[in-house]
Structure 1
Amino acid sequence: MVWLYYLVSYLVGNIMFGYLVSMLLKGQDIREQGSGNVGARNAGRVYGKKAFVLTFLGDALKGAFVVLAGRYLLHFSETVQLLGLVFVIVGHLKPIVLKFKGGMGISTFIGGIIAFEPLIASIIVLAFLVLYPFLKSFTFTGLGSFLFIPVFLIFKTDNWVIPAIVLGMIFLLILVHIENIKERIKK
């Protein structure tokens, strides 16, 4: 049953809201617009705030859905729920339906991790507000603020596996953003 949950989580990750929103709003393939990425950031740049919000919410809700389904419908442990979130993020990053070229995973991570522990929303916002004046980059600040999540979870839980899985997800997101990070460092 757990492996089926992981498979379904990956497939849920394949629902690319940036692609769907661009097709519904403009009849265009977002992969041929702007940076070519199917995520909320590119949707916002190319199609405006409405497209950004719809894409962000759709991608966030798929992360939340997987975690909440694992918790309330399937009664899986927190560890299994977080691994489900890993699979939905991987499905978003490497969707089979778009030839393994997906988004950057931030919205899906945020939705899933806040569904996992709602207090994390406060941690992300507070860390962002503290870091932004120093880093002056949404990408660096956002990724940096995520690093406070495992620290929070170390104090909240007595299960070391939970912060370790979350840290692994954050490093995966950092790897996905490595080109953006290198570009930003050169400036």
Structure 2
Amino acid sequence: MFRVICVLIGYFVGCIQSAYVVGKFNHVDIRQYGSGNLGTTNALRVLGKKAGAITFICDILKSVISFAVCYKLFGGNIMAGVYASFGAVLGHDFPFYLKFKGGKGIAATIGMTLSLIVTFNPLIAVITYTAGIIGIAATNTISAGSIVFSVAIPVACFILKAPYELTAVTAFMCVLAIYKHRSNIERLRAGTENKFIKKKD
């Protein structure tokens, strides 16, 4: 039962759409611009670096706060925190009050890995963040780095001998991240994905 409670707590925290709120402060409905995605990358492209940074930090904090609350609520149970972060990703990806159209959950997933540094093993950050950075550097795209980062999490959990349930949940989150990036994957295959650093003419 604690799993359901934690997912629900995380979901409602995750439903706080940072990009949407930041956009409204700038008198912009970000859903109508760029990719229409309610995430950091679109906020950065549409609203600029400051708005992108605020969105990124807030989306990370949604997951960190959800993790911390449920971790403490259930007596230091690491899986309570993980399920809460999973819920935050679901809330971010599928907010009920925005027709279930949100972001792609990468910043919220980063929040979970930050929490796992303290509660599980700091090496999870070394493995996953390095993988994500390599993905970005090799392709010059945020989406590829995000996908590689997501795949690296259950792999890192397996390597670091995490509890089976933790590995299983992060594997499911990986599948969800790949699903949310399916249009990016098509553009990557076609060579038309937006570049992280654009070359000057």
Residue identity matched to 2:17? M
Q: Distance in 1 between matches of 2:161 and 2:69?
A: 21
Residue identity matched to 1:75? G
**Ranges in structure 1 where 5+ consecutive residues have no aligned partner:** none
Q: Distance in 2 between matches of 1:152 and 1:95?
A: 29
Q: 1:151 to 1:98 in 2, by over 3 A?
A: same
2:153 is aligned to 149
Q: 1:106 to 1:159 in 2, by over 3 A?
A: same
Contact 1:65–1:112 (Cα < 8 Å) also in 2: no
Select between 58-67 and 4-13 the one with higher mean Cα deviation: 4-13
Contact 2:6–2:87 (Cα < 8 Å) also in 1: no
**Ranges in structure 2 where 5+ consecutive residues have no aligned partner:** 192-201
Aligned length: 186
Q: Distance in 1 between matches of 2:137 and 2:65?
A: 33
Contact 2:154–2:174 (Cα < 8 Å) also in 1: no
Q: Percent identity?
A: 31
Select between 11-20 and 79-88 the one with higher mean Cα deviation: 79-88
> Does structure 1 residue 127 correspond to structure 2 residue 128?
no
> Does structure 1 residue 77 correspond to structure 2 residue 77?
yes
1:90 is aligned to 90
Residue identity matched to 1:30? I
Q: Distance in 1 between matches of 2:169 and 2:59?
A: 20
Contact 1:67–1:116 (Cα < 8 Å) also in 2: no
What SS does the aligned partner of 1:117 have?
Answer: helix
> Does structure 1 residue 108 correspond to structure 2 residue 108?
yes
Residue identity matched to 2:157? L
1:46 is aligned to 46
Cα root mean square deviation, aligned: 1.9
Task: Quote how far apart the aligned CAs of 1:133 are.
Answer: 4.5
After superposition, what is the alpha-carbon deviation per residue over 1:70-90, rounded to whole angstroms, capped at 9, x for unaligned? 112432522232222221111
Residue identity matched to 1:103? G
> Does structure 1 residue 183 correspond to structure 2 residue 183?
no
Q: Which runs of 4+ in 1 moved over 6 A?
A: none
Q: 1:186 to 1:126 in 2, by over 3 A?
A: same
What SS does the aligned partner of 1:104 have?
Answer: coil
Q: Distance in 2 between matches of 1:158 and 1:181?
A: 29
User: Which of 150, 161, 164 does residue 165 from structure 2 map onto?
Assistant: 161
Q: Distance in 2 between matches of 1:13 and 1:133?
A: 29
2:7 is aligned to 6
TM-score (norm 2): 0.84
Q: Distance in 2 between matches of 1:76 and 1:7?
A: 18
Task: Quote how far apart the aligned CAs of 1:174 are.
Answer: 0.6
1:57 is aligned to 57
